[in-house]
């Protein structure tokens, strides 16, 4: 099945470059382009893409606001957001993840990594495993900054012990295969635990599950490992 991609970036040259790259492989295709966040929202509603490749800094409506609008839209539950940014010093990335983004990449990413990232996010998996990404999650998500997550500890308590354990390991950037090896489970069993945890916590994808793990205190900074 072909993954349908919406490009959202205010730089026309970048959009053209991304389109050429994405359309060069048989399993991905660009179905629309947006020059700002509002246009991204409007086009997402019209085309219902599998993935929106979203810049953060755009005129009129920024990428964070657009991400929140798309992820909360009842008709766009199958649309995933991949943020492109110079993320090392960008707190907006954390806001985008809280809003429902499935992952993020730096704009200096290699072509192969960009294509792989689109496929990863389209599958509902979080693009959160690299060490630099885990460091960013720790920096911006370890302590709740708003009131929106104050009720999450109660929700987390609905998880079984195994679901908490698997969720915590996922928040540390471990893949299903890594978790399976550590807990002596099959990858399929791990995936089932992840899916059940997502359902109980109303997480739209693995990335949001990771955000909840940090915001609820299930995972704390000192538990991070390289």
Give CATH for domain 3-127.
3.40.50.2300
Beta strands in 2-147 (DSSP E): 3-8, 28-34, 51-55, 80-84, 103-105
Task: Name the superfamily (CATH) of residues 148-223.
Answer: Response regulator (3.40.50.2300)
Q: Record the tokens describing residue 3, joined without a space.
A: 């993954």
Per-residue pLDDT reduced to its tens digit, 99-113:
888 888 888 888 998
What pLDDT shows up at residue 225? 45
The structural domains of the chain, with segments of one domain joined by +, span: 3-127, 148-223
What pLDDT shows up at residue 201? 87
Let me know if the fold of 3-127 is the same as that of 148-223.
Answer: yes
| Of residues 36 and 175, more confidently modeled | 36
In three-state secondary structure terms, 29 is strand
- What is the average pLDDT across 6-29? 96
Per-residue pLDDT reduced to its tens digit, 113-157:
899 989 988 987 766 544 445 555 555 555 555 544 445 567 788
What pLDDT shows up at residue 67? 94
Give every CB contact of residue 152 below 8 A, 6+ residues apart in sequence.
201, 212, 215, 216
Q: Which residue has the tokens 């698997």?
A: 166
- What is the average pLDDT across 83-108? 75
Q: Which H/E stretch holds residue 159?
A: none
- Flag whether pLDDT at 38 surpasses 50: yes
| Of residues 92 and 121, more confidently modeled | 121
């Amino acid at each position: 099945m072909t993954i349908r991609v919406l490009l959202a970036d205010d730089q026309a040259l970048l959009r053209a470059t991304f389109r050429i790259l994405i359309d060069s492989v048989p399993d991905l295709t660009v179905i629309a382009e947006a020059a700002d966040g509002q246009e991204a929202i409007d086009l997402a509603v019209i085309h219902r893409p599998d993935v929106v490749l979203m810049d953060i800094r755009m005129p009129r409506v920024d990428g964070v606001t657009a991400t929140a609008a798309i992820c909360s839209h009842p008709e766009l539950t199958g649309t995933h957001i991949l943020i492109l940014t110079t993320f090392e010093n960008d707190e907006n990335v954390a806001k985008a993840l809280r809003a429902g983004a499935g992952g993020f990449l730096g704009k200096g990413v290699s072509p192969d990594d960009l294509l792989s990232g689109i496929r990863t996010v389209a599958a509902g998996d979080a693009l959160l495993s690299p060490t630099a990404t885990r460091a960013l999650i720790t920096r911006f998500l370890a302590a709740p900054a708003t009131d929106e997550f104050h009720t999450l500890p109660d929700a987390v308590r609905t998880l079984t012990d195994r679901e908490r354990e698997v969720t915590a390991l996922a928040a540390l950037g471990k893949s299903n295969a890594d978790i399976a090896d550590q807990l002596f489970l099959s990858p399929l069993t791990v995936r089932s635990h992840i899916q059940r945890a997502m359902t109980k916590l109303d997480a739209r994808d693995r990335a949001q599950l990771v955000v909840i793990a940090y915001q609820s205190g299930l995972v704390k900074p000192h538990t991070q490992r390289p």
